[in-house]
Structure 1
């Protein structure tokens, strides 16, 4: 006789749900909604939480709900701009009173929780020193602190960080805004550098108190000099990574000192440095360098030959904006021949690379996993086919702003499949055609990420070719592709999670097709799609049952009544972004927020 089966204990359910979570992050939503017990079990699996400031409710309930959180990210998305270099700037860098008080309250709530945090981020916000002291005294195990894009960052902030979090191993203080609204130069001159930004003194304090520091990002701190590098190299003997972009006062002397004294250094990211002034002794001392990122630098062949001679364990090499006249094919060929085990390679903005030279170099790249060849105008799709054939481990290819589609495919070359390729970025290739996309689809049958934004020559026909062959697509961007109004019919896109169609030709018919075929869609960007109305949105919201974010900025045919319907008809929605001129009232916003959906303007939101 069959015996009764007792229910599984919680630890068994946790193993099951954890496995589901590893397969796909949305797999826990259905179990968590089925019963309170499963909700309790799935809550224990969450380890990261992002909190947007200001919030309309205390976060202590969330902190109690997820007892195993080890990472929290606090962020303000207010009045953000991106410059051409991709750096964030704030049109109004100071937090308003509501944001400032809310941030202080949230920091104290985190400090008063019983969480065992390992990682904490204040990116885009502002530090409150007293609450930070309290938090540091109670969160003894925080080893990663991210303070990038802070509204203000000064030496006294670093002193508090160093004193309150002595176990830090990774510190990011990159690109502080430090904009006090001063217009008169003489007013600025009355302030010492330490009052308006981070100086060498602040870094000296950090290096003396954080002896276990391993990784630090100093990018964008304009007052720092070689003195900071000397202090870090002398005091932080475990230092493995340092980033120094846009630190205009750092010189070759400081770089040489770091290479000679920081014997554990494995990653170096710099710009505006004349590498022609480095010597072979400095390079030979850097025995553990695996990642080298060099931007806007004087980068002659002589330095490449020093790298060859040094025989360092290089795995990742990024050479961007390298315009030195003696940076030649001979130098890069010699380097790649030496480091045939290279896994990541980026060469941007150079004319020395052609389809012929890349064909020769590809024989040295058999171990390559990622390659970026951006803004190399002499490269066509022929280079892509060559890489796909000769680099069997290649997973990620970026060839934005090249001559892709410019006729290289007409040359006699074997077009073979490479099932390892998962990601392809062809952004801003004006000559890319539907016929070329059909060939690419044949080469990449297992593609998961595709970006063809600003490729004005393609239509839905070319996208349909690709999607039919690559049904595993998870992320697709067709931004500013006005010729694409639809993504085709008749085939399921069961894996698509992120669809960026801003300023494309997508209309209601296109949304109907997306709703019918992309049931696991999470993020949808329709910014500037003039053909979108409530008709198409109803189709999306009805069929995409786990949709979380949607951007409707500049969708002029979408009214507040439609937004109201969206919030209350699709419980999974967490964020709707609208034009500034089409915002809900304060009472409506709070009502939406109580329902779990944040409705915000383009100025305070981030595009999905």
Structure 2
């Protein structure tokens, strides 16, 4: 550590620092290093598994220009919540943190997320993937309520929705939050259609929604129609996608991922009529789609650039269709 202290003390203009896998670092080390890094703008401390939120707070307190922090696979959440005295310090400092990655932090809890939402109001991107102690949708709403510039949240493979807080007083006045544009909720087994409809009413400007591998068998298309600004929709490995009813239009939808959903020609036809602006349709492992379905999509989606299939799991008629110059340019096999 003496060598690192000596180096940083002579390089006080460092703006970007990558200390990923520096597993010897602890909270005290980061607190001392941060004193030399007043001009720091980004830092990567991922897989420094001894670090807790104390290191995070030291950084934002000592580095007022810091806008990007990556602390994936750390012990964030293991220590007790920040004291009220420290919280007052953050209000004075007003950190300019815009991007925070806390993916795969196994100790991260809802109370941590709610706290971070209150002390990092300038956040624009937050990555909370693979944190299975996050279970309340209240965490999500605390973020969008307290962070007016937050446009992207990644919460894949958490337990969001597991805790039922629908009657919580804090959920009574959810509000409208048009700033959120991208929401990743894939592999969340506790999500329900009702909860996503609740999200839809509060985030009307959402453009990207990832629900990959979510069990939404009680009416997947009930909520999709509510996101009329959506441009990218991932329903890969979701159930009951074949129950699509063509009674609404998603004019702005450009990319639709239906991989491994078991859709057939009838469903693909209905989707092509409701989503005329499609640029990409991803159909990997959708063996029930034949040349008939592909022709419908090409006919109804005039701007289409790509229909993607799995090279080893595709109907024979699709391979034959790929020989036709009219379809060869859009059919892709991976």
TM-score tier by shorter-chain length is 0.7 to 0.9
Q: How far does residue 476 in structure 1 lie from its aligned partner after superposition?
A: 0.8
Change in CA separation of 1:528 and 1:348 when aligned onto 2, cut-off 3 Å: same
Structure 1 residue ranges without an equivalent (≥5): 1-251, 579-601, 603-608
Give the whole-Å Cα distance in 2 for the aligned partners of 1:294 and 1:339: 22
> In structure 1, what is the equivalent of residue 219 of structure 2?
461
- Other structure's SS at 1:502 match: coil
The yes-or-no answer on 1:284 pairing with 2:43 is no
Structure 2 residue ranges without an equivalent (≥5): none
> In structure 2, what is the equivalent of residue 270 of structure 1?
19
**Contact residue 118 and residue 146 of structure 2 kept, 8 A:** yes
> In structure 2, what is the equivalent of residue 519 of structure 1?
276
Give the whole-Å Cα distance in 2 for the aligned partners of 1:269 and 1:454: 33
Change in CA separation of 1:393 and 1:301 when aligned onto 2, cut-off 3 Å: closer
Change in CA separation of 1:336 and 1:556 when aligned onto 2, cut-off 3 Å: farther
Change in CA separation of 1:345 and 1:516 when aligned onto 2, cut-off 3 Å: same
The yes-or-no answer on 1:389 pairing with 2:145 is yes
The yes-or-no answer on 1:563 pairing with 2:332 is no
**Contact residue 210 and residue 234 of structure 2 kept, 8 A:** yes
> In structure 1, what is the equivalent of residue 65 of structure 2?
313
> In structure 2, what is the equivalent of residue 423 of structure 1?
182
- Other structure's SS at 1:295 match: coil
- Other structure's SS at 1:564 match: coil
Change in CA separation of 1:396 and 1:303 when aligned onto 2, cut-off 3 Å: closer
Change in CA separation of 1:469 and 1:302 when aligned onto 2, cut-off 3 Å: closer
Alignment of 1:172-321 (within 5 A): 256=5, 259-273=8-22, 274-276=24-26, 278=29, 282-297=33-48, 298-300=50-52, 303-304=55-56, 306-307=58-59, 310-321=62-73
Give the whole-Å Cα distance in 1 for the aligned partners of 2:133 and 2:194: 20
Change in CA separation of 1:316 and 1:261 when aligned onto 2, cut-off 3 Å: same
Give the whole-Å Cα distance in 2 for the aligned partners of 1:489 and 1:270: 52
Change in CA separation of 1:430 and 1:302 when aligned onto 2, cut-off 3 Å: closer
> In structure 2, what is the equivalent of residue 497 of structure 1?
254
Structure 1, 257-266 or 287-296: larger mean CA deviation? 257-266
* TM-score after normalising by structure 2: 0.85
- Other structure's SS at 1:504 match: coil
Change in CA separation of 1:454 and 1:300 when aligned onto 2, cut-off 3 Å: same
Change in CA separation of 1:460 and 1:484 when aligned onto 2, cut-off 3 Å: farther
* TM-score after normalising by structure 1: 0.49
Deviations 1:490-512 (A, max 9, x none): 22222111111111132212211
Give the whole-Å Cα distance in 2 for the aligned partners of 1:319 and 1:512: 45
Deviations 1:167-210 (A, max 9, x none): xxxxxxxxxxxxxxxxxxxxxxxxxxxxxxxxxxxxxxxxxxxx
Instruction: Name the Cα RMSD after superposition.
Output: 2.8
**Contact residue 77 and residue 108 of structure 2 kept, 8 A:** no
Change in CA separation of 1:481 and 1:336 when aligned onto 2, cut-off 3 Å: farther
Give the whole-Å Cα distance in 2 for the aligned partners of 1:547 and 1:258: 54
Q: How far does residue 452 in structure 1 lie from its aligned partner after superposition?
A: 0.3
- Compare relative contact order (CA 8 Å, sep 6+) and give the higher one, 1 or 2: 2
Alignment of 1:17-416 (within 5 A): 256=5, 259-273=8-22, 274-276=24-26, 278=29, 282-297=33-48, 298-300=50-52, 303-304=55-56, 306-307=58-59, 310-323=62-75, 327-330=79-82, 338-379=93-134, 380-412=136-168, 413=171, 414-416=173-175
**Contact residue 329 and residue 352 of structure 1 kept, 8 A:** no
Q: How far does residue 256 in structure 1 lie from its aligned partner after superposition?
A: 4.5
The number of aligned residues is 322
**Contact residue 65 and residue 95 of structure 2 kept, 8 A:** no
Change in CA separation of 1:356 and 1:283 when aligned onto 2, cut-off 3 Å: closer
Q: How far does residue 253 in structure 1 lie from its aligned partner after superposition?
A: 6.5
Give the whole-Å Cα distance in 2 for the aligned partners of 1:393 and 1:292: 21
Give the whole-Å Cα distance in 2 for the aligned partners of 1:325 and 1:472: 35
Q: How far does residue 440 in structure 1 lie from its aligned partner after superposition?
A: 1.1
Change in CA separation of 1:540 and 1:483 when aligned onto 2, cut-off 3 Å: same
- Other structure's SS at 2:35 match: helix
Give the whole-Å Cα distance in 1 for the aligned partners of 2:262 and 2:90: 43
**Contact residue 61 and residue 90 of structure 2 kept, 8 A:** no
**Contact residue 398 and residue 426 of structure 1 kept, 8 A:** yes
- Other structure's SS at 1:265 match: coil
Structure 1, 309-318 or 297-306: larger mean CA deviation? 297-306
Change in CA separation of 1:428 and 1:458 when aligned onto 2, cut-off 3 Å: same
Give the whole-Å Cα distance in 2 for the aligned partners of 1:345 and 1:544: 38
Change in CA separation of 1:304 and 1:450 when aligned onto 2, cut-off 3 Å: closer
Change in CA separation of 1:560 and 1:307 when aligned onto 2, cut-off 3 Å: closer
**Contact residue 53 and residue 77 of structure 2 kept, 8 A:** no
**Contact residue 299 and residue 327 of structure 1 kept, 8 A:** no
